[in-house]
Amino acid sequence: MQAQRAEEAQQLAQAFLRILDLHRVNFPAATPPVAPEPAPPDRVSILKHYEQHALAGIGFFERTKRAQAKQRAAQWTDAEVQRRWTTLLEQQASWQRYLDRRWQQMCSNDPGVVLETLEEAFEDNEAPSAAIGVTGDEVSLVVLVPTVEQVVPERMPTTTQAGNLSLRKLSQRHRAAYYKQFVCGQVLVTLREAFAVAPAIGSARVAVLRHDGPDSYGKPRVSCLLATKIHRASLQGVRWAESDAASIVEDTSTELLRNPRARTGELLPVTLAGEPALSELINAVDLAELTNR
């Protein structure tokens, strides 16, 4: 029984640490892509093919003819290897030109290229994320988070005054505080990835939606828990290892919209009345696709 309790305590501790460390994931900055150098043609197999062709019909003891045939095969092989290598280098150069054009488009914030690149980058994210639009050097992002019940455990491991292991039930306030860290952590990890893969994006607007389950028609229902605008430059110098996610979002946002419950700090849905830009952003999201990721 004690061993089982200790194992549960360890799992709970890891769950809380994971929430607190979400925003500390680092992403390498994108660099101009380089087309890989092709593998050289397989000269051995090419030579074997030509020798079989050249030696056809020549007897084993016709050494002069065999030597001449092998010489011709070697010449054919050299020519074929050179031809194939030239073709491979031309293909590499063509691919490099394509990569260079695409990098230039990324650096000029071409909306189609930026959105496509971000979509690919977000495919493996824990919280489904989507890039909705690009205006100038600003990108609009949406992050979908689960409910607090799906994220924050009800109990936390602790010790009694006597030093015994205890699994204490979290108060509503403490559970809301951890959920806030989770939500802000997902905002920051999505932002850091977006800024890393899209080098010319200077700022991002992020709307955090909570998946509230299907409505009577089976369509996904969502509520907006938080909306923010954060500039790339404001993240420079952030002490990621020391600062918690909620504090970073608070300190770096130039615009921040949320609706915390006064007593517990619980994130309540934001009222969209009077927020036409935010409503337009949310309405542009394909909720069915986002919720099915």
Residue 135 lies in a domain: yes
Same domain, 169 and 212: yes
Domain boundary among 86, 103, 120: 103
Q: Which of 88, 103, 118 is the last residue before a domain boundary?
A: 103
Q: Which domain holds residue 47?
A: 43-103
Number of domains in the chain: 2
Residues 186 and 275 placed together within one structural domain of the fold: yes
pLDDT band at 7 (very low <50, low <70, confident <90, very high): confident
Q: If residue 168 lies in a helix (H) or strand (E), which one and from where to where?
A: strand 165-169
**Of 164 and 24, more confident:** 24
**Together in a domain, 186 and 214:** yes
Instruction: Check whether residue 52 and residue 126 sit in a common domain.
Output: no
What are the pLDDT digits (tens) for 252-281?
999 999 999 988 999 999 988 888 888 888
Are 79 and 171 members of one domain? Answer: no
Check residue 163 and give its pLDDT: 57
CB atoms within 10 A of CB 98: 12
Q: Do 194 and 263 belong to one domain?
A: yes
- Residue with tokens 């092998």, as numbered in its chain: 70
What pLDDT was estimated at residue 197? 97
Look at residue 188 and tell me whether its pLDDT is greater than 90: yes
- Mean pLDDT over 97-119 rounds to 96
**What's residue 170's pLDDT?**
85
Is 163 part of any domain? yes
User: b vs e for 32-70, b when ≥16 Cβ sit within 10 Å of the residue's Cβ?
Assistant: eeeeeeeeebeeeebbeebbeebbeeeeeeeeeebeebb
Same domain, 151 and 88: no
Is 63 within the bounds of a domain?
Answer: yes
Beta bridge partners of 143: 129, 208
Is residue 215 located within the same domain as residue 167? yes
Question: Is the domain of 66 the same as that of 152?
Answer: no
Cβ burial of 118 (10 Å; 0-12, 13-18, 19+) is: buried
Q: Do 131 and 118 form a contact (C-beta atoms < 8 A)? A: yes
Pick the last residue of a domain from 54, 77, 103.
103
Residue 212 domain-assigned? yes
Same structural domain, 270 and 145 = yes
Does some domain include residue 29? no
- 75 CB contacts (<8 Å, ≥6 apart)? none
